[in-house]
Amino acid sequence: MMQWLNYHHLYYFRVIATEGGIARAAEKLRVGQPTLSAQLKQLEDMIGKPLFERRNRKLVLTDAGKAALDYANEIFRLGDEMLEVLQDRTPEDQPHLQIGALDSVPKGMILSLVMEVYKIWPCTVSILEGKGDELFRELRAHKIDLIVSNYPAQALDETQVYSKSVAKLPVHVYGTPKFKDLKRSFPKSLDGKPFVFPTAHSKLRHDLNHYFKLHGIHTVPVAETQDTSLQKLLAEHGVGLAPFSEVVGIKEQNLVRIGKLENVYEEIWLISAQRKIENPIAAKLMNTFSLH
């Protein structure tokens, strides 16, 4: 006789496991502890194995419980994905693409990506800016479709996440007109000069440090920011020199190009996560978008 899994019982089990006990789970679910215990017992009877054992008055997952929790997490993750995809793709709604962008990604790069989206399909584009760990959490939860990053997902040891290099941009040093004489004897002229740098989490910052060390140039970091717009604003106010890739969109009346840093590039990546039902616009971008 076929046995049917009671997903209500499975959900209760998952909450008990994640909350660490029946009392806390009952409080969160707003059900009585006896009811919750009875539902857990029915699930264990159906499976034929205990999912918890009691140690020092605490519930601890058994090996079967650990396996069941892994499956429960995947089952409810897929359920969330199904609702997000189907509710967002109803025929009467305009297609929707949700993009996460690191603060350190040049805004011009995001603009290029969005303009490419509109060539593929008329749609609504939502852009969420933030830090890498926040955006990857949203990507895994299918709250966003793509991430635009200046480092690949492999750097974060992500699984079932795919990265594609879409641009490799030369980097130049810019400054206000008061720094224009540094064009002569560049890059040695940068020695001892103030800089507005990207923060240390950026791969570009590490590449810049390597470049300056290789050429025996000592720079003076006077400001650090992961936001390229703020970095540009600080540079425009004469706080220091700043390295930018070609897509930043520099206005020559505010900042002048001092020189190009040979063999220093800012690489941009598109990152997506494995999904049962793909966003077709995101899939198209992963296959076709490139500024190489």
> Does 237 share its domain with 252?
yes
- Rounded Cα distance between 156 and 138, Å, is 14
Q: Which among 230, 228, 233, 236 has a CA at the least distance from the CA of 252?
A: 236
> Does 176 share its domain with 156?
no
Residue 160's alpha-carbon distances to 67, 68, 174, 207, in angstroms, are: 19, 21, 39, 28
Please check whether residue 45 is in contact with residue 21, taking contact to mean a CB–CB distance below 8 angstroms: no
Query: What's the confidence (pLDDT) of residue 280?
Result: 87
- In a domain? residue 80: yes
Looking at residue 200, the DSSP 8-state letter turns out to be: T
- Rounded Cα distance between 292 and 281, Å, is 20
- Rounded Cα distance between 228 and 243, Å, is 10
3-state helix, strand, coil in the chain (%, to 5): 45, 25, 30
- In a domain? residue 73: yes
> Does 137 share its domain with 278?
yes
> Does 220 share its domain with 108?
no
Which of 47, 70, 88 corresponds to the end of one domain? 88
pLDDT, one tens digit for every residue, the chain (292 residues): 556 788 888 999 999 998 888 888 888 888 898 988 999 999 998 888 999 988 887 888 999 999 898 888 888 877 876 776 666 554 445 678 999 999 888 888 899 999 999 998 888 899 998 888 889 888 887 889 999 998 887 655 556 788 999 999 999 999 999 999 999 999 999 999 999 999 987 889 999 999 999 999 999 999 999 888 899 999 999 999 999 987 656 666 689 999 999 999 999 999 998 877 778 899 999 999 988 7
Residue 267 token pair: 């690489």
- In a domain? residue 1: no
> Does 150 share its domain with 273?
yes
Query: What's the confidence (pLDDT) of residue 275?
Result: 78
Please check whether residue 198 is in contact with residue 224, taking contact to mean a CB–CB distance below 8 angstroms: yes
Please check whether residue 274 is in contact with residue 161, taking contact to mean a CB–CB distance below 8 angstroms: yes
CA angle 78, 83, 87 (to 5 degrees): 150
* Main-chain phi, psi angles of 122, to 5 degrees: -65, 120
Query: What's the confidence (pLDDT) of residue 223?
Result: 97
- What CATH number does the domain containing 26 carry? 1.10.10.10
Residue 280's alpha-carbon distances to 140, 142, 277, 287, in angstroms, are: 17, 14, 9, 11
> Does 82 share its domain with 205?
no
The partner residues of 270 in beta bridges, in order of sequence, read 148, 164
Q: Which among 119, 123, 120, 149 has a CA at the least distance from the CA of 136?
A: 149
Q: Which among 53, 65, 273 has a CA at the least distance from the CA of 160?
A: 273
Chain centre distance of CA 59: 35
- What CATH number does the domain containing 143 carry? 3.40.190.10
| Number of domains the chain contains | 3
- Rounded Cα distance between 97 and 110, Å, is 13
pTM higher than the cut 0.75: no
- In a domain? residue 2: no
Query: What's the confidence (pLDDT) of residue 116?
Result: 93
Domain with 223, as residue range(s), is: 168-263
Query: What's the confidence (pLDDT) of residue 270?
Result: 95
Query: What's the confidence (pLDDT) of residue 83?
Result: 73
Please check whether residue 124 is in contact with residue 94, taking contact to mean a CB–CB distance below 8 angstroms: yes
